[in-house]
Amino acid sequence: MKKKVNISAQDRNQLIADDNRKLFESKGVFTINIIGSPGCGKTSILEHMSNHFDEQFAVVVGDVKTALDSDRIINSGNKNAFAIETGGGCHLSAQMIQNKLKEINLDHLDYLFIENVGNLICPSSFDLGENLKIAILSIPEGDEKVRKYPTLFIRAAAVIINKIDLLGVMDYDIERVKQDCRVHNTEVKIFETSAKTGQGLDEWYQLLRDQRKYLFSE
């Protein structure tokens, strides 16, 4: 008789994430898990990419409800955008991504961007099979988020500080925020961007190209 093996939800998520990653890598798709507070500018940056990042990419957007953000991305010119409604869940899981992959043709894609549910806590603990986890902060959120929500910043390889166009009108100590990020990860790459003006996004796009080249030249 087969013995039932109980594994935790986290372990099960990890097994599926590893399968997702193997699939992405076998197709040459570099995958990015984007995590940040509600309203920090995740979708706005992806909209900017539709017109300025000259590579083949698809986007999966997780929200508790609605397909508003994937519709925005489609309207900005990238037809390869897909919504996942979590129905209440505060983060995406590897299983949700695996299910959504049935609708996405990975052949000919260079990148897959996953916009996680707006939240600084839960999404950071669930691997989706990505090659790069990035955190997005924004100036109006205040400059203590890295100190208050460290889990994400321990794991993120890159941090985008968005809405940099608002720096002059907010009390925001950007140098201290960068120091706070480096306490958790001395190697972290930090970008100052504005999805509104496009400032700093070319540097972010270059990092994506460099990282993909590095992964697939091994």
Ligand X SMILES: Nc1nc2c(ncn2[C@@H]2O[C@H](COP(=O)(O)OP(=O)(O)OP(=O)(O)O)[C@@H](O)[C@H]2O)c(=O)[nH]1
The beta strand positions in 28-185, using DSSP E, are 30-36, 57-63, 81-85, 111-115, 132-138, 158-162
Identify which of residues 91 and 163 has a Cβ nearer to ligand X in the complex: 163
Question: 37 is written with which tokens?
Answer: 């507070």
d(CA 48, CA 34): 15
Q: How far apart are CB 5 and ligand X at their closest, in Å?
A: 37
Where helices occur in the chain by DSSP H, the ranges are 9-26, 42-52, 68-75, 94-100, 145-148, 150-155, 174-184, 201-216
Sequence-ordered list of residues with C-beta below 8 angstroms from that of 40, at least 6 positions apart, any chain:
118, 136, 137, 138, 141, 162, 163
Q: How far is the CB of 47 from ligand X (least distance, A)?
A: 7
* Coil, strand or helix at 181: helix
Q: In this chain, which of 10, 15, 38, 99 binds ligand X, going by CB under 6 A?
A: 38
Restricted to residues 57-116, the positions that interact with Mg ion (CB under 5 A) are 69
Binding mask 108-147 for ligand X (x = CB under 6 A): ----------x-----------------------------
Q: Which residue of 13, 20, 33, 44 would you call a contact of ligand X, by CB under 6 A? A: 44
38 touches, from ligand X, Mg ion, none (C-beta below 5 to 8 Å by class) = ligand X
Closest CA to 35 of 188, 141, 153, 147: 153
**Cβ neighbours for 154, distance < 8 A, ≥ 6 positions apart:** 184, 185
Which residue, 34, 33, 35, 38, is CA-closest to 141? Answer: 38
How many amino acids of this chain bind ligand X (CB under 6 A)? 17
Chosen residue from 15, 18, 22, 39 binding ligand X by CB under 6 A? 39
Per-residue mark of binding to ligand X, 171-210 (x: CB under 6 A): -----------------------xxx--------------
Could you say whether residue 43 binds ligand X (CB under 6 A)?
yes
Least Å distance, CB 101 to Mg ion, is 20
Give the x-and-dash track for 6-45 against Mg ion (CB under 5 A).
------------------------------------xx--
Applying CB under 5 A, the residues found at the interface with Mg ion are: 42-43, 69
Applying CB under 6 A, the residues found at the interface with ligand X are: 36, 38-44, 69, 118, 162-163, 165-166, 194-196
